Structure 1
Amino acid sequence: MKLLAFFLAIFLSCFPLWISAQGFKLPSEQKLQKIKFELVNNLMLIPIEINGSDLTFVLDSGVSKPILFNLAEQDSVQINNVSEVTILGLGGGEPIKALSSTGNAFKLGKAKNYNQDMYVVLDKGINFSTSLGVPVHGIMGYDLFRDFIVEINYSAKNIKLHNPNLYEDKPDKKAQILPLTVESRKSYVKATVLSEDSADIPVKLLVDTGSSDALWLFHQPEKGLEIPHKNYEDYLGRGLSGDIFGKRSKVNGIRIGDFELKDAKAAFPYRESIGFLQNYGDRSGSLGGEILRRFNMVFDYSRGTLKLKKNGNFKAPFQYNLAGIELQHNGLRYIAERIANSNGIVQQKKGSFGNVQILLENKTRLSLVPEIVVSSIRSGSPAAEAGLKEGDVILAVNGKRIHKYKIQEILKMLNEKEGKRIRVLIERYNRDLLFTFVLKKVF
């Protein structure tokens, strides 16, 4: 099962187009800054202030410079010193136009950088909020990992930005320290893939907290990295330059240091979807959030180390999209509900899509809620065979009206377990239709 319908492939890589003196700093006497994050589909969403505006970014260790997008959900954001540039990222499309901006004030608590560079993407199509179900305004990574020793606790859902000059590493017998290589503003670790014939294949993997997937591998027969026989074609996500497609499968295992995960979910992106990489060099793929969340970790770019310790997620099963449905928000819709008492007021909650309620005549509540639609369906999947179509508006799953749930919770309902019978009520061309299907293994 995949908890995010529209896989958020934020492997958004771009070429650094400038070099300027900048850096995050804490007050000289402060040892660390602790930041709480929201974990949505294996992605860490952190609060950040940019030029006085409060925004939400994905902490993405796979991106070299902050990228600001989805400006439509923010009343105003000041952007300093702009010029037009071209950015090329993952996806089968062409490079996109963007703005480069310098001299911006970034704040995460008391961690501040008053001279931060960033990219600004104005294309409205680059918007991951609709698939995550919460507003997301951008991504950032390298600048924080460069300037701090970054401790990520997936269990407690917090990040600690340690002042490198005051950091004291605490010995932990249950943790392991691995070499970490930083190249072109990105970090890599060495691991071992266990293939179908149980052969050990050494690989070098990008450590990418901005990917919600588990493991991406490049098809490299010369290294022994073949696509397993049991696989299916799938939409893997969207990059800056378009959609990403490939084969989804699993490998016998992945070994990182002394830690081994068996039957690890893996995807093999088509080369044309990641063509901007040109030459893979000695890189064999990427480690994403579905694997990384199984550890608490400490990144130390300055010393070239990554400290890993298993957490309570380590033995959790890998999640597959058993139903074959991809979902996303598609604007807002009204629903009417009978209620016992009201006083004719209007209520609104912040921080989500819609959630406006109008109470009428002590009888009816009109609520403006997100409209959740089927964005795509995997060919041959249970949902496709049952007759569901792209564009269908989801109203209820197994008798539960979905407007009360987050999009990730709805996806969990749709992909609960093999053999589960799923009933989906949808609206299509102003008609309510009920579809039923049984979840099947994908392999």
Structure 2
Amino acid sequence: MNKSFVFVVIFFVFGVSSYSQNKFVVQNRKQSDKIKFKLINNLIVIPVEINGVTLSFLLDTGVSKPIIFNFLNVSDTLKIKNTETIMLRGLGGGESVEALKSTNNVFKIGDAVKWNQDLYAVYNINLNLAPRLGFAVHGIMGFDLFKDLIVEINYSKTYLRLTSPETYQNKKCKNCEQFNLEFYNGKPYVNVEVTIDNKNIPVKLLLDSGGSDALWLFEDDALGIKCGENYFNDFLGHGLNGSVYGKRSKIEALTLKRFVLKNANVAFPNTENIFHAKQIKDRNGSISGNILKRFNIIFDYRKAQMILKKNNKFKEPFSYNKSGVELAHNGVRLVKELKRSDAKSTSKPQVEKGQLVYSNAVTISLIPAYSIVELRAGSPAALAGLKIGDVILSINGKRSHQFTLQQIMLMFYGEEGKKIRVVVDRDDEVLSFNFKLKNLL
């Protein structure tokens, strides 16, 4: 009896262990864990431990496999192994991207662990999200976590809750709406409705938490999905294969059952940038972070369900960049400053190559350099004389390094007529520019 009992226990433990290696398992008594995240430019950034090394990952419902940006030189630290070369394709107008596929990696997110996770290392510099976010992001992941666990995203309090499906208990919620999901290549799609030219149009949209925009629609005259006369051409973002451009506009409404978002931002990407995305049967576009953040969301991939409950961000007005400038954190600048002990000195600072230099005792600091990387033709910033490559030294009288990148970008989303004063370094020449934000919609 004892020997039989021991054999059964050993077999049970070994069987569970082997099965657990192929999925995420929450390793605590409650089989549920809460993980804080950073919400940056409508994007969710979570801590992910890979092979014992903690990194920052974007949680992206629109990506099927974890991707690490290998040009950040983290692959050696992670000791990834068992690699093979494959090609990946996504949004953007470029060619397929080469990646190294690695197997048998250990992933840990809070108490959720997977012992045998595939990982794709990509060397394409266009996938470096850190400069655009002003925050270190080493990779992106999505489906492999969502398919194994119930994932609750609380955008209002910035935390995830990961729970084992076997122990999860769904509470009744009269203020919630439940949606059925459809899946193609591990990506979730939802059927909702948009209102364009007073016409309610059913659409199938990718749920894309890895995009910071609100809504993308693919133009289709037969369905009535088209951009009206009130729009402007703009840079929309970066895809796996390069930059995406298109038209920015507004739609009358996006309807998710009882939840109606009026006058929502919309972008219509250029056809050449979305050729492969349109191959998904009946896909009409994407819902991204600027919509999703207005809800607290429960994803249950096993039941192909999503539950939405609007939060305190629901009524935030939709805005957009009215300056025409896109910035990126482009390295650092060396600045010399007067020491505090000499703060009462009457000597005046001199500008040399975009740096403040005092004749008295100085301190030397390395501060972030924010550069213009996209500039919309005909925009207020372009008409004022700003150029791509200009490094922002100050904005509205305050030195640029006293802001985060996101704080500066938020200024460009302000009210029409707001005056922006910038001082820039252009090829070691310090120049000043003024412009006012302009509402094109």
TM-score (norm 1): 0.88
1:212-251 → structure 2 map (5 Å cutoff): 212-251=212-251
In structure 2, the partner of 1:118 is 119
Alignment partner of 1:95 is 2:93: no
Distance 1:302 1:126 in 2: 30
Matched residue SS, 2:420 = strand
- Flag the structure with higher helix content: 2
Preserved CA contact (<8 Å) 2:28 2:111: no
Distance 1:70 1:42 in 2: 24
Preserved CA contact (<8 Å) 2:37 2:44: yes
**Superposed displacement of residue 363, structure 1:** 4.0
Matched residue SS, 2:322 = coil
In structure 1, the partner of 2:309 is 309
**Superposed displacement of residue 340, structure 1:** 1.9
**Superposed displacement of residue 38, structure 1:** 0.4
Preserved CA contact (<8 Å) 1:228 1:251: no
Distance 1:389 1:73 in 2: 31
Q: Relative contact order (C-alpha < 8 Å, sep 6+): which is higher? A: 1
Amino acid at match of 2:283: R
Distance 2:28 2:431 in 1: 62
1:28 and 1:372, CA in 2 relative to 1: closer, same or farther beyond 3 A? Answer: closer
In structure 1, the partner of 2:264 is 264
Amino acid at match of 2:303: R
TM-score (norm 2): 0.89
Greater CA deviation, 240-249 or 75-84? 75-84
Structure 1 outlier segments of 4+, above 3 Å:
360-363
Preserved CA contact (<8 Å) 1:68 1:118: yes
Greater CA deviation, 274-283 or 136-145? 274-283
Amino acid at match of 1:236: L
**Superposed displacement of residue 71, structure 1:** 4.1
In structure 1, the partner of 2:11 is none
Matched residue SS, 1:76 = helix
Distance 1:286 1:132 in 2: 21
**Superposed displacement of residue 339, structure 1:** 2.9
In structure 1, the partner of 2:408 is 410
In structure 2, the partner of 1:65 is 65
**Superposed displacement of residue 191, structure 1:** 0.8
Distance 1:421 1:59 in 2: 36
In structure 1, the partner of 2:56 is 56
In structure 1, the partner of 2:30 is 30
Which runs of 5 or more structure 1 residues have no equivalent in the other structure? 1-19, 343-359
Cα deviation digits, residues 368-412 of structure 1 (max 9, x gap): 011111112101110011111111110111001011111000112
Amino acid at match of 1:56: S
Greater CA deviation, 412-421 or 158-167? 412-421
Distance 1:122 1:255 in 2: 39
**Superposed displacement of residue 211, structure 1:** 0.6
Preserved CA contact (<8 Å) 1:340 1:363: no
Matched residue SS, 1:144 = helix
1:196-211 → structure 2 map (5 Å cutoff): 197-211=197-211
Amino acid at match of 1:77: L
Preserved CA contact (<8 Å) 2:57 2:141: yes
1:331-342 → structure 2 map (5 Å cutoff): 331-341=331-341
Preserved CA contact (<8 Å) 1:71 1:137: no
In structure 2, the partner of 1:367 is 365
Preserved CA contact (<8 Å) 1:179 1:305: yes
Distance 2:183 2:192 in 1: 15
1:153-164 → structure 2 map (5 Å cutoff): 153-164=154-165
In structure 1, the partner of 2:329 is 329
Matched residue SS, 2:252 = strand
RMSD across aligned positions (CA): 1.9
Distance 2:125 2:304 in 1: 38
In structure 2, the partner of 1:379 is 377
Amino acid at match of 1:393: V
**Superposed displacement of residue 21, structure 1:** 7.7
In the comparison of the two structures, how many residue pairs are matched? 406
Which runs of 5 or more structure 2 residues have no equivalent in the other structure? 1-19, 343-357
Cα deviation digits, residues 149-182 of structure 1 (max 9, x gap): 1100001100001111111111122112122222
In structure 1, the partner of 2:16 is none
In structure 2, the partner of 1:138 is 139
In structure 2, the partner of 1:273 is 273
